[in-house]
Chains A and B, each alone.
Chain A
Amino acid sequence: MFADELSLLLLYGLLTALLLGGKVTGMLLTVDMGYLLSSRDESRSLEGMLGRTDRALNNSITALALIAPPILIIALRDQSSANSILAAQVFLAARVVYIPAYVFGIRGLRTLVWTVGFLATVALYFLAL
Chain B
Amino acid sequence: MTPELTALALAGLLQVVQFVLMSVPANLELGAGKTLSPRDRERLGGTLEDQLSPKTARLYRALNNHFEGLILFTLAVVVVTLSDQSTAFTAACAWVYLAARLAYVPAYYFGLSPWRSLIWMAGFFATALMLVASLI
Contact = CB atoms under 8 A, between A and B. Distances in A.
Interface of A: 6-7, 9-11, 13-14, 16-17, 20-21, 36-41, 43, 61, 64-65, 68, 72, 75-76
Contact of B74 (A10, A14, A37, A68): A68
B71 A64 contact: yes
A41 B58 CA distance: 7
Q: What bracket does the count of chain B residues touching chain A fall in?
A: 20 to 34
Interface stretch (B6-14, B15-23, B33-41, B108-116): B108-116
Given A37-B113, A39-B111, A41-B58, A72 B78 contact: yes
A60 to B, nearest CB: 10
- Among A13, A65, A76, the most chain B Cβ lie within 10 Å of the Cβ of A13
Interface in B34-75: 50, 54, 57-58, 61, 68, 71-72, 74-75
A13 B72 contact: yes
A37 B58 CA distance: 13
A128 B86 CA distance: 26
10 contacts: A10-B79, A10-B131, A10-B135, A13-B76, A36-B117, A37-B116, A39-B54, A39-B58, A39-B111, A65-B71
Nearest to B121: A24
B132 interface: yes
Contacts of A61: 68, 71
B82 interface: yes
B72 A76 contact: no
Given A10-B75, A10-B135, A68-B74, A39 B124 contact: no
